[in-house]
Structures are given as structure tokens and as C-alpha cells.
Chain A
Amino acid sequence: MKQFAAFTKKEILEQLRTGRLLILIIIFCLFGIMNPAIAKMTPWMMEMMSEQLAESGMAITTVDVDALTSWVQFFKNMPMALIVFLILFSGIFTTEYQKGTLINVVTKGLKRWKIFVSKESVMMIIWTLGCLTCYGITFGYNAYFWDNSVVHNVFFSAVCFYLFGLWLISVLGLASVFCNSAGSVMLALGAAFGASYLLGLFPAVKEYVPSYLLQAPNLLTGNVDVGDYLWSVLILLALIVMQSIFSVVVFNKKNL
């Protein structure tokens, strides 16, 4: 435990001192504010453009915005935050391989699984806090401007996206065990997402792949049942556990 705590302390210090944490706080807060802001500004923007649109023959009626508009915006913006998050952390393992900094701690007797679990936990905790921040800010503004109760299953939908993020973080860990550069880790992440997306095109399996959770915002209107996403959530959780175990096994024999 002492070893794990010491290494995790270093990981957190790294995120603080390299400014990575600051960038992520800014991004999550910014997106949190942008969601209701964009929704709030939509009628005003429409009005600005209505004259031009009228000239081209389009008639603009009054646009109604409510909490749903803001939440839809939330689910549009979060993938962007996830991409930035993954890019920022793509080198969390590979930079250490390239510099050889892990050699010192491993030769001090630090168990390799502790390195892996520490890094993955730090990423997952920051992702969790980031999602909570963004969700909290959007939720707060929405409650102030409109009424959150018109939107259905918003928390569950957000959890689905959050879990999808956790899955990609675990893919990042797995890819980092095999790859030696941040670029190849990003490629592997792209490939994992692509594979999940392509599998999702087959009706027989589409409800079981992780990327199915990206369609969870369909729940917001209340027309879809939450139970439809249950299998996908369970499979995703199982995948995270299996990927992490497999990563540790491979990491134990990796040339550092």
C-alpha cells in the first residue's frame, strides 16, 4: 500500500505540475457552461439570421428552447471533451517507456501491477470528476433557466456516456502495454472505437457493443426504455475488468 500510495502521489503531482489537470478543469467547466449558454443563445442567433433566411425564402417561427435543448448540447459536447482527455493522457505510459523513468522505480521493487493500476485509477478518477463537474454545471444552469423535469433519464444517459469513457480509458491502458508511442496508442483507440462502431451496424449484436451507449441520449425524450441499454452496460463493465487483468499480465513481462 505504501508503494502504491507513493507512486499515485507522483501521478497526481505530475497532472498538477504539468498543467494537464488545469487544462481539463477548464475544458470541463467551459463545456458545462457552454451547453446552457448555446441553448440560451439559440433564439437570439435565429433572430439575427432570420432576415437573411427570409430573403432566401425560409420563414423562421419562434424557437422554443428548454432544458432538453441544453442537455442535447451536453451530449454533443461531451465526446469532444473525451477526445481531448484521451489525447492528453495518450502518453501516460509511453512517455515513461521512452524516457526510461519506470526503470528506476521498478528496480526499487515497485510491483508492476501497482504502476498500471495507479495510472489507470488516476485517469478514471479525473474522468469521473470531470464528468461530474460538467454535468453539475449544466444541471445547475438548466435548473435555473428552465426545468430539468421535462427531460427523462438524463442521469442514466450521462452515466452511459461516462461508462463509455471509462471503457476507452481501459482501452488506452491496454494499448499502452503493447505500444511504445502516444501516436500508436491513439491509433489503437481509434481502431477500438471503429471496431465497436462497425459491430454496432449488425442488428444481431448492436445492443451489446460499448458504442451503443452513445445512443443513450435517445432516452431523454422518454420514448425508449432504459432496459434496452442494460446488456451493453454489463458487457462494457466486464470488458473493462478483463482488459485491465489482461493488461497487467502483459505489463508484467514488458521490456521497459
Chain B
Amino acid sequence: MNATSIAAAEQRIEWDRPARGRVAMFGLIAAEAAIFTIFVVAYLFYVGKSLTGPLPKDVLSVPIFYTICLLSNSLTIHLAAKSLRQGSVRRFGILWLATIALGAAFLYGTATEWHRLIYQEGLTISTNLFGTTYYSLVGLHGFHVIAGLVALSMVMVFTFLGNVRPEHAERVDVLSLYWHFVDTVWIVVFTVVYVIGR
């Protein structure tokens, strides 16, 4: 017996399967979500358990502007992917650049906040439990923003070199899934750190 005779049935079967890139990205997002869940649980469990100051209510200020920057990101990347699907590479490039700029602005916001906390408030990762959980959780999210920005920038470089074409829309879509995830995580982190934990 051989595989050829098994293939005879092929013509009779309609066959449709999910795209592997999309499935794999959802798998990665599930894994990342599990990691974040543990950090969020740790943050919530340790709220109010610091034995020494500074405490969140004394030093944290709500980063509304930079949060808007990061969240509006999801809109620009969605429109960018849509433009590419419709065949407008130029509009895609502009919106993609805007996405990167907004993401970078968010990182700048985090950097200034950390600088203030470290040099003015004297809060580091080893100061107290709040410092440990705060820098770990926000830092873990920031790390994901950086990873996302590296990926987005690579696509940007390819766009400048003229190598991004409408047929790549599916891949851009998969990357944008990751970016939406990073934004969604920020909503959780924001709620936990700046609303519940303060």
C-alpha cells in the first residue's frame, strides 16, 4: 500500500483550515497573558503590604496623556493594516510611522516617570515591596512595548525599501494582533497600578 491511493479521495473533500501565523500568534498571546496574570496577581496581593515608604499614593501620578498615546495606537495600526489590505502602501506607511511614534512617546512617558521616581522620590526596585512589584509589572509591559516597537520598526524599514506590498496584509495583521495585546495589557496594568493600587 502507499500514500498515493489514499489521496484518491482528495477531490471529493472541501478543505479549509485556519492560517498558521494567526494561530501561533494567539498561542503566543495566551502564553504572555499567563505571564502577565502572575505578575498582576502578585501586584494585587502585595498592595498595601510594603513595610516602608514611599507608598503609591504619595508618589504615583496618573499618566493620562501617555496612556492616550498608547491606546490610540491600536486605532492607527488597525487603520494602517486596513490601508494595506486596500492597496494603499503610502497611507499604510504614514499610519505605521504614527503608530511607532505614539508607542515611542509612551516609552518616553515611562522613562520620565521612572526618572522622577528614582531621583526625586528615591523609589527603586529594591526600596520596598511596592517598588519591586511596580517596576517589575510596568517594566515587563514596557519590555513588551519595546519588543513590539522593534518589530514595527523592521516593517517600517521594509516599507521604506519598498518591500511591503498589499499581499503582505495578512502578516501585518498578525503583527497588529500582538500590538493590540500590548495595548490591552496596559489597560489592565493601568487599572491595577494607578486605580486599584493607589
Whether both chains belong to one complex is answered with: no
Chain A residues close to B by CB (< 8 Å): none
Chain B residues close to A by CB (< 8 Å): none
